[in-house]
Structure 1
Amino acid sequence: MKKVLLTTALFFTVCAVSAQESVVKEAKSAKSDPVKAAQIIEPALVDPSTANDPETWKLAGDFQKAIYDDENMKLYLPGGQADTAKLYNSLAKMFEYYTKCDEVEQAKVQSGELKKPKLRKKLAKTLAAVRPNLTNGGSEAYNSGNYADALKYFGLYVDASQNPMFAEEEAVKNDTLNPLIACYAALAANSLDDKAAVIKYATIGKTHKEEGYRALMCLAEAYGKGEQTDSVKWLEVIKEGSEKFPTQEYFIGNLMDYYIQKGQVDTALSEIDAILAKNETPYFLYVKGVLQYEKKDYDNAIATFNSLIAKNDGFVGEAYSQIGNCYFFPAQELVEENSKISMDDPQYAANEAKIKELYEKAVPNYEKAKELKPDNKQLWGQFLLNIYWKLNKAEYDALEKELAQ
């Protein structure tokens, strides 16, 4: 009985192998129609009996190359209309199948089944020639919002440079465009919330001298958001970005916010002064004023914001609002103090007079912020409402209606 069972099992195994070999033969016979042949061979790519043969993957890649070549030729023919989705899809599959072919063949060399690889050199040369077109596929996919395909195309391009298959292909191995394309791959991965892919490609992309900041931004997002954050690595990335790309506001703004949250305002001021010494922009000047405000160094903060207003080169509305804050919030401290003492206390009257004085200084600044930034009500809305309640009930009523609209 056992012998019968073993014989039966062997019979089915032989049948399965024969069936997959038949699929390969059928695909070969249909090579004049590469689209049909590519469909026929698909089962052979997942069955161990044929998937462990490099020739199977070579054949599948050949079909994809034929499809790619047919569509690519249309780009150069007068009046030709190429199906670019088909073009780039076949290009990606060609890369995947030829790369898999090399992987399977190398495994056979390692095991001693083959003395040396027969296909690597030719396949590497073929792929190196068409590899630049992966960037076109990635760009088209990214611009259409298809970030999954964009990541696939850009990722294949970048991964090739680290694949030993291309060790003799200098154009691939030493490709200076690789960091730039890695930046694009990181951007696509970031849009997909694919943290692992962001880290993989942004780590390469951040080395690009001009566009590397994009990769570092993606890295910061990957480490700083989501369920599993890494504050240590996030800070490392933010600091790296502020050092390598000191003109990028993203890194400086985040770094200054971090210092404020940690109560390290003096450290932040020291760093922003060093940055301003090299590159004085309206944003960096604004940041310095905010830091001085956070330190409650109101006089110097007001001076910084006034110098920003005088330049009239950006953040003017915000600067007026911050000057208002330099008067409004000290007044609020006095309001809080008066809430705890008797109205008969002489200090209460002194505080009330000071509150009125500070409010009157704040008003024109908030009103100017409103004039310059009427849609940004956070800069002036509630502050003016609070002040008008104290100083001018008619203006309070008018503003309350305006804010309610």
Structure 2
Amino acid sequence: GEAVEPGSWKAYDLIKKADALKAQRSSETYEQAMANYAEAEIIIKDDITKNETEGKFNKLALLYFQNSQLQFKLLQDELNKAQQGIPFDTLMFCQRVDNVIECYNKSQENNVKPNAKGKVKENKNLSNLNEMGLRGVLTLYYNCGVFMDGMGNKQASVDYFQKFVDLPRSTSIFTKEDADSIYAKQEKIYSLARYNLALQNYALKNWDKAIENAKEALKDTIDVQNLYIVLRDCYGEKKDSVMWAQTLVEAAERTGNTNFYSQLVQYYMETKKTEEANQLIEKMVQEQPGKVSTWYIKGYIELDVKKDYAAARESFAKALEINPDAKEVLRPMAMSYVNDILNQIYDKKFKYIGTNRQITARGRGAEVEKAYAKEKAIYDKELATVKSYYEKALPYLERLRELTPDKPSLWAADLQLVYSNLGMTEKAKEMDEVLYQYNQTLQGK
């Protein structure tokens, strides 16, 4: 934009002299320049007070703009030091940044303020200069946030990061379209600021602010897992178990980390909140029936919380219909068979399997043989039943091994159990060796 007349010619002359003195680059002239700037600052502030009393908004707009330029000159030395990595006065830096931005905002507010007759006499050149000026200093609030954090002043850091993310839409200088464009063009730095705000507000126990910023930051891809942990813990602190559970589901879906699902199931197991679990499942089935995670969670709760193995298998089967290679589903599907049969054995559902009872028969001659054959048939049938469960579990674990050959912790111990119960001795020994090598690797770390 074109230049505008100074708010104060007296201050203008002092600033011009100060600029010339500073350009001579000697300590004596530098001190005189600073004295001139300080005198100009007092003159402008006095003029602002006088014109505010008289309600001269157009004059105020020019004075505030002039002060914004002066405040930037006073900021420049500390800004140069910061950019060069030289020690600088952090508090002065941040105070000057506040002053510069406040002056641009107040200049524009007065520039478009209606006069006593209700008319607005906007100086278009001044509006352009305020917009250009503010665009040039937008990221300085971010720097203030970083510097305050470095000083250990967490609250001041949070305040500056918040000012940074709010400024494009809180100022009257930008339209909504301008603000949207700024956020879009500098998406990464705004996401990083919101990430910092989420973590810092969490550390300060500002749960609502942490949640708000974590949700905004999650629109990007910066440290997604950590942000979900912040969200989860904030909802935990607020005792909002519904949002806590939903956060875990969303976290697992987005990150692929099934530990989030495990935490959810563990919570329902420990608290015995089956009704709450049912509500979550019903909501997911209604809203997202085409998602693997819906049926995975439903199956896991049926498997571990309700111990309804048949229902769990149905749910896992639906998940595998959607994605036959859903790694997180393959093991629990296998375990729905293994846990089912182990539970039946534990509950003494069999006459022979899982007991110390020997096959015996009483009587004489053919009678004994017939009685023995009858008991042996019972035993054989029980054994076949038990084996059938392990046989059904086997393909899911073997497929998991194919998909994750470098993660034996996911399948080796389970495969060893299944192979042993199916009498597949060599395969079971192979799993013993895999587990041994895996444990050796862990110990070597």
TM bracket, shorter-chain basis: 0.5 to 0.7
Q: Report deviation, 1:195.
A: 1.8
Q: 1:291-370 maps to which residues of 2 (within 5 A)?
A: 291-294=301-304, 295-312=306-323, 315=326, 317-336=327-346, 341-344=355-358, 354-370=385-401
Is 1:184 the counterpart of 2:192? The answer is yes
Structure 1 stretch 371-380 or stretch 203-212: which is displaced more? 203-212
Given that residues 389 and 396 in structure 1 are in contact (C-alpha distance below 8 angstroms), is that contact kept between their aligned partners in structure 2? Answer: yes
Match of 2:134 in 1: 128
Given that residues 309 and 336 in structure 2 are in contact (C-alpha distance below 8 angstroms), is that contact kept between their aligned partners in structure 1? Answer: yes
Q: Report deviation, 1:327.
A: 1.1
Given that residues 416 and 432 in structure 2 are in contact (C-alpha distance below 8 angstroms), is that contact kept between their aligned partners in structure 1? Answer: yes
Query: Distance in 2 between the 1:243 and 1:400 partners?
Result: 34
Unaligned runs of 5+ in 2: 1-17, 36-44, 47-66, 110-129, 148-153, 360-374, 438-445
Distance verdict in 2 for CA 1:301–1:35, change over 3 Å: farther
Q: Report deviation, 1:287.
A: 1.9
Query: Distance in 2 between the 1:185 and 1:100 partners?
Result: 21
Q: Report deviation, 1:382.
A: 0.9
Q: Which amino acid aligns with 2:136?
A: V
Instruction: Give the 3-state SS of the residue equivalent to 2:98 in structure 1.
Output: helix
- The superposition leaves residues 213-240 of structure 1 with CA deviations (integer Å, 9 ceiling, x where unpaired) of 9899867634755xx9954346365367
Q: Report deviation, 1:28.
A: 8.0
Q: Which amino acid aligns with 1:381?
A: A
Query: Distance in 2 between the 1:365 and 1:357 partners?
Result: 14
Q: 1:5-404 maps to which residues of 2 (within 5 A)?
A: 31-32=22-23, 61-65=72-76, 96-99=95-98, 121-122=106-107, 125=130, 128-133=134-139, 154-158=161-165, 160=167, 169=173, 175=179, 183-189=191-197, 195-196=203-204, 199=207, 202-205=210-213, 211=219, 221-222=229-230, 230-233=236-239, 235=241, 237-238=243-244, 253=261, 258-279=267-288, 280-294=290-304, 295-312=306-323, 315=326, 317-336=327-346, 341-344=355-358, 354-390=385-421, 391-404=423-436
Q: Report deviation, 1:36.
A: 8.8
Query: Distance in 2 between the 1:270 and 1:229 partners?
Result: 18
Distance verdict in 2 for CA 1:102–1:260, change over 3 Å: same
Match of 2:366 in 1: none
Q: Report deviation, 1:381.
A: 1.4
Distance verdict in 2 for CA 1:302–1:205, change over 3 Å: same
- The superposition leaves residues 158-201 of structure 1 with CA deviations (integer Å, 9 ceiling, x where unpaired) of 364798xx5x54659x9567798765323235567962397575
Query: Distance in 1 between the 2:197 and 2:218 partners?
Result: 20
Unaligned runs of 5+ in 1: 1-26, 45-53, 72-82, 104-117, 142-147
Query: Distance in 1 between the 2:213 and 2:97 partners?
Result: 26
Query: Distance in 2 between the 1:320 and 1:102 partners?
Result: 57
Q: Report deviation, 1:328.
A: 0.6
Look at both structures and tell me which one has the larger radius of gyration over its CA atoms.
Answer: 2
Given that residues 199 and 210 in structure 2 are in contact (C-alpha distance below 8 angstroms), is that contact kept between their aligned partners in structure 1? Answer: no
Given that residues 334 and 394 in structure 2 are in contact (C-alpha distance below 8 angstroms), is that contact kept between their aligned partners in structure 1? Answer: yes
Given that residues 187 and 218 in structure 1 are in contact (C-alpha distance below 8 angstroms), is that contact kept between their aligned partners in structure 2? Answer: no
- The superposition leaves residues 67-91 of structure 1 with CA deviations (integer Å, 9 ceiling, x where unpaired) of 86x99xxxxxxxxxxx9777xx999
Query: Distance in 2 between the 1:393 and 1:223 partners?
Result: 48
- The superposition leaves residues 214-268 of structure 1 with CA deviations (integer Å, 9 ceiling, x where unpaired) of 899867634755xx99543463653675899998678994656544442234533
- The superposition leaves residues 316-359 of structure 1 with CA deviations (integer Å, 9 ceiling, x where unpaired) of x333322210111122224545698543498x958655433322
Query: Distance in 2 between the 1:243 and 1:364 partners?
Result: 27
Given that residues 268 and 274 in structure 2 are in contact (C-alpha distance below 8 angstroms), is that contact kept between their aligned partners in structure 1? Answer: yes
Given that residues 268 and 291 in structure 1 are in contact (C-alpha distance below 8 angstroms), is that contact kept between their aligned partners in structure 2? Answer: yes
Match of 1:77 in 2: none
Query: Distance in 2 between the 1:84 and 1:389 partners?
Result: 67
Instruction: Give the 3-state SS of the residue equivalent to 2:272 in structure 1.
Output: coil
Query: Distance in 2 between the 1:34 and 1:237 partners?
Result: 61
User: Aligned residues: percent identity?
Assistant: 16
Distance verdict in 2 for CA 1:292–1:220, change over 3 Å: same
Query: Distance in 1 between the 2:160 and 2:25 partners?
Result: 22
Query: Aligned pairs, how many?
Result: 326
Distance verdict in 2 for CA 1:120–1:397, change over 3 Å: closer
Q: Which amino acid aligns with 1:275?
A: M
Structure 1 stretch 119-128 or stretch 244-253: which is displaced more? 244-253
- The superposition leaves residues 62-111 of structure 1 with CA deviations (integer Å, 9 ceiling, x where unpaired) of 2434786x99xxxxxxxxxxx9777xx999976542426899xxxxxxxx
Cα RMSD after superposing both structures: 5.9
